[in-house]
Structure 1
Amino acid sequence: MDGFSGNSGVIVLAATNRPDVLDSALLRPGRFDRQVTVDRPDVAGRVKILQVHSRGKALAKDVDFEKIARRTPGFTGADLQNLMNEAAILAARRDLKEISKDEISDALERIIAGPEKKNAVVSDEKKKLVAYHEAGHALVGALMPEYDPVAKISIIPRGQAGGLTFFAPSEERLESGLYSRSYLENQMAVALGGRLQKR
């Protein structure tokens, strides 16, 4: 990055989330010629990040960073910071002195699926249909060989969804980004599993 005169002892660092839009002139030797890729954190990394972002926040004894880290595959440091902040906001709204696993779980659902539709009037019949629908996803997932285990089922309407079934994919599968044909076929079967309730 030298101009007309040299600058010794100076190292210039830059960061981007969009390396695909960088001008190739910036990446020539002598400029930004070294690239360091920072991947999303694994479970151990997420535990450490959660510990950092929970400093100064009162936590209940039931908060388990390992469990939270396992429920947040693919989350970045900023995502985990947002999770802890959302959980703190929920605890404050509920007049609690500490953040418990319930606030963290609710904050996670809010981040993944959107806010709860508190004003939605859902009849008992619709709740029953949504429960059957979500149970269909979970049942098909449980019956598929080598598929992800069910983490949680909810019939609380959020965003565009009447309910949600959360699966817990393995860290290895997420890190590799490689999916076998049978796994992808299982995913399609699970997606259609909610239709079982119509039969």
Structure 2
Amino acid sequence: GDTSGKMKELVAYHEAGHAIVGACVPDYDIVQKITIIPRSNGAGGLTFFAPLDSRIESGMYSRSYLENNLAVALGGRLAEELIYGAPKVTTGASNDIQQCANVAKRMVFEWGMSEKVGKLAITEEDGRKPFMGMDYMRGQGPTWSDEFLAEAYNEVERLVDNAYLQAKKILTDNAELLEALKERLMDQETVSAEEFQMMLVEFKTQSVPFQLYGSAIDRDLMPYGEDDEKKGVNLPGLREAIMAA
């Protein structure tokens, strides 16, 4: 078969996945440009987002923005998975998992965005200081019990799992748009913000509020603690990525 053509198609699906999830979550940056022209480092395409001025000025990111960021990061991987099946997912997609793990870990460990773990900043054993941590006793931060750390790692994993289900629902609901955007990227390699906006209107794409999957309605309790509700999540290597983050 035509390997380069197949690769081009895969990259087109991957970038379309990032872009569509980014367009469908509220409180997120505007898609500026989508391209499948390879970057100088050899990686596939790229979806550019233009952050809102207010966000750049304040440097502050809301929890909902960061949750959306996790879903957008997984959009490329999910597009590949939905089209080709989980075993065919590429290394570009495992980079997305690592990026996700990095952000989710900071949300819990540094920015206090988990009620369960509380607003305590956590310093790990190697003494890396937390972002918002106090300097206890000249840099001797508190150390936490293994149980507490295990709980914190579970929270990170739940954040990523939830983002995965969010992105999966968006791409499943917008399967026609995914196909159309992939075709257009294959055809012209780059899609502008204006073209993409017109496609969103044409396909009547709705933005979706961030949802929690599982029994917890209160977002601060985080979604599904129950194993049976995790069946829809396929993120191999996630725990390793979280530990490495």
* Alignment TM-score, normalising by the size of structure 2: 0.31
Higher relative helix content: 2
Which has the higher relative contact order, 1 or 2, with Cα contacts under 8 A spaced 6 or more apart?
A: 2
* Alignment TM-score, normalising by the size of structure 1: 0.38
Work out which of the two has the higher radius of gyration on C-alpha atoms and give 1 or 2. 1
